[in-house]
A and B are shown apart, each in its own frame.
Chain A
Amino acid sequence: MVVRVLYFASFRDAVGRPEEEREIPPGTRVSDLWEILSREVPAFGRFPRMPPAAVNRLSTVGHHTLEDGDEVAYLPPVAGG
């Protein structure tokens, strides 16, 4: 199945693109996908734990299981205002 991963701010700079589609096996959890991405993107390694994440624009937890077509985002520390 396929999910769409969005990148923002320093994560976008580290990955070099704003978003991508990823093929993942059924049963993949939000935290599993972060581990996969961390192995590919050295800059993600500086986070000892998974950063806050959102699925389909709602905040979620690491053990949330992803579904085909989901929009996933891992959020670097925010700095609005």
Chain B
Amino acid sequence: MYLTHDTIDLAAFLAEARPSDGAVCLFVGVVRNESEGKETVAIEYQAYEEMAELELAHVVASVSQEWPGAFVRICHRVGRLSVGEPSVAILVTAPHRETAFAACRLAIEWLKEWAPIWKKEIRPDGSGEWVEPTGRDAGHGTRNT
């Protein structure tokens, strides 16, 4: 299970390192209070949950193949999150830091591109706006198209 409706437990995540690992790299994405100059009070994350589980498993498998020796874990939150709450955590442990840093970076990039997950920024007046990246930042939500 890669998606959760509950608060991401970062401490439990960090406890995953193996005795052979000398490097632990943790990336945490957090809800910000603004987006392109517009104030944000919360973000609502929605996922095509059954497909997102498959896609995130594919991210883990692909990153592990790209960086042998890396142990990759992903947890992505869904539902309504307040400013400052973690929306995603990616943990990579590896024998050495080069692998841990590189695999962690690759995992978040592929997650953003492949996972069918969406976010709606909630403004102070209660209105909401779905974020739909275009051009260079656009993800596909799929791997093959």
Contacts and interface: CB of A to CB of B under 8 A. Distances in A.
B112 A80 contact: yes
Interface in A1-35: 6, 8-10, 12-13
Chain A's interface: helix, strand, loop or mixed, by majority?
mixed
Interface of B: 29, 45-48, 50-52, 54, 76, 87-88, 108, 111-120, 130-134, 138-145
A-B complex: 5 closest residue pairs judged by Cβ atoms: A59-B142, A80-B117, A9-B118, A75-B141, A78-B141
Contacts of B132: 9-10, 76-77, 79
Interface residues of A, number: 22
A13 B120 CA distance: 11
A81 B141 CA distance: 12
A81 B142 contact: no
